[in-house]
Amino acid sequence: MIFLKLLEGIGVGLLSLTVGLLFMGLARKITARIQRRYGPPVLQNFIDVFKLFSKQSISHGFAFDLGLVAGVSALLAAVVFLPMGQINLFPHNSSLIMIIYLMTMAYLGMAMGVSSSGNPNATIGVARALTMMMGYELPFAAVIFSVYIFAKTGSLTNIVAAQGGGFLNWNMVRLPFGFLAAEIALQGMLGEKPFDMAIAPAEIASGPMVELGGKYLGFGMLQHAVGIYLETGIMVDLFLGGASNIWIFVTKQFELFFIALLINAVLPRFKIEDGVKFMWKVPLLLGVIQALIVVL
Amino acid sequence: MNSNIIWLVFTPLIGSAIAAILYRVKFLDRLVTFSTFAITLLLLFSVHVGQSYTFNLNFMGKIIPLSWNVTHLSIFMLYISVAFGTLLTFYSLMDKSRMKGFLLLLILAANNWIFTTNDMVGFFFAWELMGWASIVSVLGGRDENSSRHAALYYAMMSIAGSYSMFFGVFTLWKLTGSLSISTNVAYLSSIVGMHPWWVLGIVSLFFVTFMIKAGIFPFHTWVPMAYAYAPDTFTPFLSGVMSKYGIYGMLLFLPISLMEKGMPAAFGLPWVNYIFMWIGVTTAVVGTVLAFFQDDVKKLFAYSSFSNLGYIVAAISLFSSVGVTAGIYHAFNHLLFKGALFITLAAVISRTGTSKMSEMGGLWRKMPVTFFTFFIGIASAAGIPPFNGFGSKWLIYQAMIKQHLPFATVMLFLASTGAFMYLFKAFHSVFLGQRSARYDNVKEVPVVGQIVEYLLMFAMIFFGVQPGYILKPIGAIVSSMGLKPLPTMANGYVTGMFSNVYVPLISWSLAISFTVGFILFFISAKHKYVSQSDNYTAGQIPEEWNLTPETYQFSWKFYEPIEGIFAPFFRIKIDGFFRGLANWTAATSSAIKEIFVSNAQIYAFFAVAGLIIFVIAGWVA
């Protein structure tokens, strides 16, 4: 029984990695087509990861190693609690706040790893990412707690169950302002333009990634992959009524990711303070309106 | 008669006398302090819930009954405070700071007295003892001028609080003729329906004192100063234990609001509680925002403490079973992780000689044990599972949402995200990044310190993974207050909430995923370790640019971009209000003094005018 759960958990982890890497490959292809380029093959990111893990690399010490491993591992630990279609390993333990705090551990690990390298570009990137995090978490929290109060539950399984019975029961339709706010917050969460100040290749040499090479960069890519999977998955469970099977689930995730990509392809980058201010104006206002509607 | 309770007070007093005699020999002073703490901890095993003791003090022909009563809450607070104090004094055996052991023992005596007493005279006396002993303790900081200033400021706030409590005690004594706390609380509960404003007035007299001691907004101004300039080994006690006295006092008086009948409600809460909850939320947010921009690492964590106390106040002010559980649980967790953080800071400061974050950096290679303790400490403080801060934060959110308070919850969530930001800032600036050449010879703390750090790490992980050991006694406290305890299972599986969390499951999930991660790490291609100077510098040769580790370290103006967002709020200075009040008082007093001393004619004029008014008033009446 326990062994079965373990296998299932590892399976879910592999699934999230695969889907995440596939999404990243599709993102490169789609962005290229928008810019009228041919673009790399869709499976390029798989090739990249295998190549990176087989290359020798330099490390800056045990904190560097631990941090990068923690970045992937904590996200993989969080992803098993996410209900995705018929795959729901722990239906009684899918508290959304718990998943969000587990994700925080991944960010802390990544931040610790890259900052211990001693490169200020990495730290500047982390500081920017954290600042942006405070920006998008405020509207996102407003949305989460509206959904909590609306659905009278904080468990993702129950939130999905409450949206059963057709399109009109989805929270996207019932809580439209909240959905819009969460969509904008998702853009920040994924680190896509206009909220990609943390990476900012032209300013701070890719920020957190500056000292990563070989398997460390591989870990970084895997973390990004699971991150995409987890963040879009949470959105699907919260607003798009979950899914009846995993294929529909992934399709819905891709829809959300696709919208984020389109915005990413055409918008320039915000300054950090402007990004935070934007988050605290438009999405927060939408979130607050939604919370007011729910409470009153 | 259970006279062993008063030994809880007398043992530290005796120890304090011995330590005071020996205080010139630093090691003996520390040894006596540690042994007294350890003996007190052993004495606690003989104290049980329900024991009481009364001693009639004959004061100039008037009988004052001093009574002790051990409740569930008091035994819980006693255990956590004395156990932490024992660890701290063990750590300070090898400490070089100017903290005086006998003062800490006086505080311990007061600590035990406050937590067990059931009469207001004893409570007031112990409160004063604790206050003054801690004020004098603050004086021994590294920077003498600053610590003197901080102690003076702290003393002023303390005195204001004491006056307020003194008025409260006498008003209640006048009203009921009894000095017993439980009698008076029962009396206030019985009249709250008829005279809500009276009760509110009397209770606020006490609450001002408690809020000052806990450092709740707007009485927080002494907190950053006192915490930052106190001796490094005293700050953990100040932040971990002493801020909880205010919370304990609030918990004594909060049951009154349960009987609230005459008061209108706001959002399902009595409006007093509603306002108090917002005070807590404001505290959490203000503390977080102020912590972003500190350069002194102890000041940063002082603001962090202040912010966490806001969480506790917000939770207990709901006075629901989830709220009170979450509040007490967070009080415990805060004691543990903030104590650990301040102890590691004491270790770092004792090795580097500075508390400025911009002067530190890259210490993780030199102090690995301290580094890991700090790491787990900030992970706990950020509320990351499976460390100990997660459970209480999660419960606080549950309590808030259960009351349908989305905005307050969002503000607390913001404070939590912000907490992650300032914690990472401190983490990076002290331990990560480039290490300056002058710290090349820094060593790890001595073995005694390392033992304490290992114990704290263990405690933070253990109580995170097995929250049941703490939630069970808290359940007893909650039911002794007349609330329904949470349905917790042995392993801390809290059910019946908005959602369930089974913490051991998270731990297993993390353990497995970390194993997988490390397997992947070790089976993939080899890596080689390089020095900290082997860095990407955009193709430049560092020597040509005079690039030193100090200039290649990013710790100054860490969060500059958002400084502009919060700039309007920095213009509001609570500090300035108190300063203005002081100036106004000084000006008014000197104006009054002028009347008497400047000129005989003016004095005569006022005297005659006063006499005339007096005569007219007598006539008319």
Give tens-digit pLDDT for B247-272.
Answer: 898 888 877 765 555 566 666 777 77
Q: Which residue has the tokens 């303070």?
A: A273
Residue that finishes a domain, picked among B523, B538, B564:
B523
Q: Which pLDDT score is estimated for B331?
A: 92
Neighbour tally for B522: CB within 10 Å? 12
10 Å CB burial of residue A173 (0-12, 13-18, 19+) is middle
Q: Which pLDDT score is estimated for B561?
A: 78
Contact across the interface for A102 and B385, Cβ inside 8 Å: yes
**Mean pLDDT throughout B343-369?**
86
Contact across the interface for A118 and B362, Cβ inside 8 Å: yes
Secondary structure of chain A as H, E, C letters: CHHHHHHHHHHHHHHHHHHHHHHHHHHHHHHHHHCCCCCCCCCHHHHHHHHHHCCCEEECCHHHHHHHHHHHHHHHHHHCCCCECCECCCCCCCEHHHHHHHHHHHHHHHHHHHHHCCCHHHHHHHHHHHHHHHHHHHHHHHHHHHHHHHHCCCEHHHHHHHCCCCHHHCHHHHCHHHHHHHHHHHHHHHCCCCCCCCCCHHHHCCHHHCCCCCHHHHHHHHHHHHHHHHHHHHHHHHHCCCCCCHHHHHHHHHHHHHHHHHHHHHCCCCCHHHHHHHHHHHHHHHHHHHHHHHHC
Contact across the interface for A128 and B532, Cβ inside 8 Å: no
**Token duo for residue B198:** 């009276």
A246 at interface of B, judged by CB pairs closer than 8 A: no
Residue B492: pLDDT band with limits 50, 70, 90 = low
Q: Which pLDDT score is estimated for A229?
A: 92
Contact B387, B423 (CB under 8 A): no
Contact across the interface for A93 and B502, Cβ inside 8 Å: yes
Q: Is the dihedral of CA B203, B205, B209, B214 positive or negative?
A: positive
Which of A74, A133, A149 shows the shortest C-beta gap to B401?
Answer: A149
Express each pLDDT in B16-54 by its tens digit: 888 888 878 888 888 888 999 999 999 888 888 888 888
From A20's Cα to the closest Cα of chain B, the distance in A is 17
Express each pLDDT in B317-355 by its tens digit: 888 888 888 899 999 999 999 999 999 988 888 888 888
Closest CA to B139 of B153, B126, B129, B125: B153
**In whole angstroms, what is the distance from residue A74 CA to residue A56 CA?**
25
Q: State which H helix or E strand residue B265 sits in.
A: strand B265-266
Contact across the interface for B506 and A80, Cβ inside 8 Å: no
Secondary structure of B4-39 as H, E, C letters: HHHHHHHHHHHHHHHHHHCCCCHHHHHHHHHHHHHH
Name every chain A residue with its beta carbon within 8 A of the beta carbon of B385: 98, 101-102, 105
Contact A116, A67 (CB under 8 A): yes
Q: Which of B429, B491, B499, B557 to mutate to test the interface with A (most CBs of A within 10 A)?
A: B499
From B141's Cα to the closest Cα of chain A, the distance in A is 31
- Enumerate the domain spans of chain A: 2-295
Residue B458: pLDDT band with limits 50, 70, 90 = very high
Name every chain A residue with its beta carbon within 8 A of the beta carbon of B553: 118, 120
Q: Which residue has the tokens 């895997």?
A: A222
Which amino acid is it at A103?
M
Residues B577 and B495 reside in one and the same domain: no
Express each pLDDT in B152-194 by its tens digit: 888 888 888 888 888 888 888 888 888 888 888 888 877 777 7
pLDDT at B473 over 80: yes
Residue B201: pLDDT band with limits 50, 70, 90 = confident
Q: Which of B333, B509, B512, B550 to mutate to test the interface with A (most CBs of A within 10 A)?
A: B509
* Nearest chain B residue to A97, by CA: B394
Q: Which pLDDT score is estimated for B491?
A: 54
Q: Which pLDDT score is estimated for B181?
A: 84
The SS3 call for residue B181 is helix
Contact A80, A38 (CB under 8 A): no
Closest CA to B481 of B51, B114, B76, B172: B76
- Tell me what percent of the residues of chain B surpass a pLDDT of 90: 8
Decide if B302 is inside a domain.
Answer: no
Concatenating the DSSP letter of every residue in B516-540 gives HHHHHHHHS--EEE--TT----TT-
Decide if B448 is inside a domain.
Answer: yes
Which of A93, A97, A117 shows the shortest C-beta gap to B397?
Answer: A97
The range of the structural domain enclosing residue B399 comes to: 318-523
Neighbour tally for B145: CB within 10 Å? 9
The SS3 call for residue B492 is coil
A 112-131 residues inside an 8 A Cβ radius of B: 112, 115-121, 123-124, 126-128, 130-131
A 53-112 residues inside an 8 A Cβ radius of B: 53-63, 65, 69-70, 72-74, 76-77, 80-81, 90, 92-98, 101-102, 104-105, 107-108, 111-112
**In whole angstroms, what is the distance from residue B558 CA to residue B425 CA?**
7
Contact across the interface for B559 and A131, Cβ inside 8 Å: yes
Beta bridge partners of A57: B527
Q: Which residue has the tokens 């297993």?
A: B508
Indicate the average pLDDT of chain B.
83
Residues B439 and B588 reside in one and the same domain: no
A14 at interface of B, judged by CB pairs closer than 8 A: no
Contact B398, B322 (CB under 8 A): yes
Contact A182, A96 (CB under 8 A): no
Strands B265-266 and B269-270: antiparallel
Give the number of C-alpha atoms closer than 13 A to the C-alpha of residue B554, restricted to the C-beta side: 22
Decide if B55 is inside a domain.
Answer: no
Residue B498: pLDDT band with limits 50, 70, 90 = low
Q: Which pLDDT score is estimated for B493?
A: 56
Q: Which of A50, A72, A80, A104 to mutate to test the interface with B (most CBs of B within 10 A)?
A: A104
* Nearest chain B residue to A289, by CA: B407
**In whole angstroms, what is the distance from residue B449 CA to residue B90 CA?**
8
Helix extents (H) in B177-270: 181-191, 196-214, 222-229, 235-237, 243-253
Contact B291, B223 (CB under 8 A): no
Q: Which residue has the tokens 């995923």?
A: B513
Name every chain A residue with its beta carbon within 8 A of the beta carbon of B414: 134, 137-138, 141
Q: Which of A16, A128, A148, A289 to mutate to test the interface with B (most CBs of B within 10 A)?
A: A148
The single-letter DSSP state of residue B264 is P
**In whole angstroms, what is the distance from residue B57 CA to residue B51 CA?**
20
Which of A6, A70, A116 shows the shortest C-beta gap to B364?
Answer: A116
From B348's Cα to the closest Cα of chain A, the distance in A is 17
Contact across the interface for B518 and A118, Cβ inside 8 Å: no
Express each pLDDT in B521-570 by its tens digit: 888 878 888 877 777 777 777 777 777 777 777 877 778 777 777 777 77
Contact across the interface for A142 and B410, Cβ inside 8 Å: yes
Concatenating the DSSP letter of every residue in B432-485 gives SSPPPGGGTT--PPPHHHHHHHHHHHHHHHHHHH-THHHHHHHHHHHHHTTSPP
Q: Which residue has the tokens 């303390």?
A: B158
Decide if B144 is inside a domain.
Answer: no
Decide if B300 is inside a domain.
Answer: no
> Residue B169 contacts by C-beta under 8 Å, 6 or more apart in sequence?
B120, B121, B124, B179
From B240's Cα to the closest Cα of chain A, the distance in A is 24
Low-confidence ranges of chain A (pLDDT < 50): none
Decide if B88 is inside a domain.
Answer: no
From B464's Cα to the closest Cα of chain A, the distance in A is 13
Q: Which residue has the tokens 């008497």?
A: B596
Better pLDDT: B577 or B380 = B380
**In whole angstroms, what is the distance from residue B224 CA to residue B286 CA?**
13
Decide if B400 is inside a domain.
Answer: yes
Name every chain B residue with its beta carbon within 8 A of the beta carbon of A158: 499
A203 at interface of B, judged by CB pairs closer than 8 A: no
A187 at interface of B, judged by CB pairs closer than 8 A: no
Strands B62-69 and B52-59: antiparallel
**In whole angstroms, what is the distance from residue A34 CA to residue A32 CA?**
5
Peptide bond into B218 cis (omega under 30): yes
From B145's Cα to the closest Cα of chain A, the distance in A is 34
A158 at interface of B, judged by CB pairs closer than 8 A: yes
Helix extents (H) in B230-296: 235-237, 243-253, 271-292
A50 at interface of B, judged by CB pairs closer than 8 A: no
Contact across the interface for A108 and B382, Cβ inside 8 Å: yes
pLDDT at B489 over 60: no
pLDDT at B496 over 60: no
> Residue A191 contacts by C-beta under 8 Å, 6 or more apart in sequence?
A129, A132, A198, A199
Decide if B280 is inside a domain.
Answer: no
Instruction: Please work out, in degrees rounded to the nearest 5, the angle formed at the alpha carbon of residue B307 by the alpha carbons of B220 and B159.
Output: 20
**Token duo for residue B133:** 């002993």
**Mean pLDDT throughout B78-104?**
86
A273 at interface of B, judged by CB pairs closer than 8 A: yes
Contact across the interface for A273 and B564, Cβ inside 8 Å: yes
A223 at interface of B, judged by CB pairs closer than 8 A: no
Q: Which pLDDT score is estimated for A238?
A: 86
Name every chain B residue with its beta carbon within 8 A of the beta carbon of A9: 509, 512
Contact across the interface for A116 and B397, Cβ inside 8 Å: no
Name every chain A residue with its beta carbon within 8 A of the beta carbon of B374: none
From A144's Cα to the closest Cα of chain B, the distance in A is 9
pLDDT at B490 over 60: no
- Cα distances (angstroms) measured from residue B244 to each of B210, B290, B333, B379, B397: 9, 21, 11, 22, 21
Which of B379, B525, B536 shows the shortest C-beta gap to A105?
Answer: B379
Which of A108, A138, A280 shows the shortest C-beta gap to B379?
Answer: A108
Q: Max alpha carbon distance in chain B (Å)?
A: 104
**Token duo for residue B453:** 């750090």
Q: How many domains does chain B have?
A: 2
